[in-house]
Chains A and B, each alone.
Chain A
Amino acid sequence: MLSHKISRRGVALGIVAAGTFAASAAMAQKKYDSGATDTEIKLGNIMPYSGPASAYGIIGQVEAAYFKMINDQGGINGRKINFISYDDGYSPPKAVEQARKLVESDEVLFIFNPLGTPTNSATMKYMNAKKVPQLFVATGATKFSEDPKTNHWTMGWQPSYQTEGHIYAKYILTNHPNAKIGVLYQNDDYGKDVYKGLKDGLGDKAKTMIVADAPYEVSDPTIDSQILKLKASGVDLFMDITTPKFAAQAIKKVAEIGWKPTHILNNVSASVGSVFKPAGLENGIGVLSTGYLKDPSDPKTKDDPTLKEFFAFLDKYMPDADRSNLNLAYGYGVTQTVVQVLKQCGDELTRENVMKQAANLKNFRSAVFLEGIAANTSPSDYFVLEQLQMMKFTGQSWDFFGPILSSEAKS
Chain B
Amino acid sequence: MAETTLAPTAGEAVATAEMPRSLRRGGHIALISGIVFLAVAISIPLFFRNFVVFQFTQMLVYAIAILGLNLLTGINGQFSLGHSAFYALGAYTAAILMDQYSVSYIWTLPAAGVVCFIAGFLFGLPALRLEGIYLALATFALAIATPQILKLSPLEHWTGGVQGIVIVKPDPPLWLPLNQDQWLYYFVLAVALLLYILARNLVKSRTGRALMAIRDNPIAARSMGINLSLYKSLAFGTSALYTGIAGALGAIIVQFVAPDSFTLVLSIAFLVGLVVGGVGWLPGAIFGGAFVLFVPNIAEGVSKGLSGAVYGVILILLIYLMPTGAAGFVRAVLSRFKA
Contacts and interface: CB of A to CB of B under 8 A. Distances in A.
Question: So, do A and B actually touch in the complex, CB under 8 Å?
Answer: yes
Interface of A: 49-51, 85-87, 89-94, 96-97, 100-101, 103-105, 118-119, 121-122, 124-126, 143, 187-189, 192, 217, 219
Most buried by A among B151, B256, B300: B256
Which 9 residue pairs of A and B lie closest in terms of their CB atoms, listed nearest first?
A104-B51, A122-B256, A189-B162, A118-B260, A92-B261, A100-B51, A118-B258, A93-B254, A188-B162
Given A92-B254, A92-B260, A96-B254, A86 B300 contact: yes
Interface in B138-162: 144, 148, 151, 161-162
Contacts of A89: 265, 296
B164 A118 contact: yes
B304 A49 contact: yes
A90 B147 CA distance: 14
A100 B54 contact: yes
Interface of B: 49-52, 54-55, 58, 144, 148, 151, 161-164, 166, 250, 254-256, 258-261, 263, 265, 296, 300, 304-305, 307-308
24 contacts: A49-B300, A50-B307, A85-B304, A86-B300, A87-B304, A91-B260, A92-B254, A92-B258, A93-B250, A101-B51, A103-B51, A104-B49, A105-B49, A105-B51, A118-B260, A118-B261, A119-B260, A121-B258, A122-B254, A122-B261, A125-B255, A188-B259, A189-B161, A192-B162
Contact of A97 (B58, B148, B307): B58
Nearest to B257: A92
Contact of A121 (B49, B256, B263): B256
A97 B55 contact: yes
A234 to B, nearest CB: 24
Contact of A91 (B54, B55, B261): B261
A93 B261 contact: yes
A89 to B, nearest CB: 7
B179 to A, nearest CB: 12
A52 to B, nearest CB: 8
B308 A92 contact: no
Contacts of B307: 49-50, 87
A126 B164 contact: no
B239 to A, nearest CB: 21
A87 B265 CA distance: 15
A85 B301 CA distance: 11
A125 B263 CA distance: 23
B144 A219 contact: yes
Nearest to B256: A122
A187 B162 contact: yes
A87 B164 CA distance: 21
A104 B265 CA distance: 27
A51 B260 CA distance: 12
Chain A interface main SS type: helix
Given A125-B166, A188-B151, A87 B51 contact: no
A103 B181 CA distance: 15
A121 B164 contact: yes
B162 A51 contact: no
Contacts of B162: 118, 187-189, 192
Contact of B300 (A87, A93, A122): A87
A299 B176 CA distance: 67
B140 to A, nearest CB: 12
A126 B296 CA distance: 23
Contact of B255 (A105, A126, A189): A126
B112 to A, nearest CB: 17
Contacts of A92: 164, 254, 256, 258, 260-261
Given A49-B300, A96-B256, A187-B148, 9 more contacts: A49-B304, A89-B296, A92-B261, A101-B51, A105-B51, A187-B162, A188-B162, A189-B162, A217-B148
A86 B259 CA distance: 22
B57 to A, nearest CB: 11
Contacts of A104: 49-51
A103 B161 CA distance: 29
A143 B307 CA distance: 32
Contacts of B255: 96, 122, 125-126
A188 B151 CA distance: 8
A96 B255 CA distance: 9
B170 to A, nearest CB: 13
B144 A93 contact: no
A94 B259 CA distance: 14
A126 B265 CA distance: 24
B261 A189 contact: no
Contacts of B50: 100, 104
Nearest to B156: A192
Contacts of B300: 49, 86-87
A103 B255 CA distance: 17
A298 B163 CA distance: 36
A121 B166 contact: yes
A49 to B, nearest CB: 6
Given A92-B254, A121-B163, A49 B54 contact: no
Nearest to A49: B304
A387 B261 CA distance: 33
Contacts of A103: 51
B265 A51 contact: yes
Contacts of B54: 97, 100
Nearest to A92: B261
Q: Of residues A118, A119, A126, A219, which shows the largest number of chain B Cβ atoms within 10 Å of its Cβ?
A: A118
Nearest to A122: B256
A50 B166 contact: no
A90 B260 contact: yes
B263 to A, nearest CB: 8
A93 B87 CA distance: 13
A103 B49 CA distance: 12
A92 B166 CA distance: 12
A239 B30 CA distance: 65
Given A93-B58, A121-B256, A219-B144, A189 B163 contact: yes
A92 B261 CA distance: 6
Contacts of A124: 166
Contacts of A125: 166, 255-256
Contacts of A93: 58, 250, 254, 256, 261
B49 A49 contact: no
Nearest to B54: A100
Contacts of A97: 54-55, 58
B79 to A, nearest CB: 22
A364 to B, nearest CB: 30
Contacts of B250: 93
Nearest to A118: B260
A195 to B, nearest CB: 11
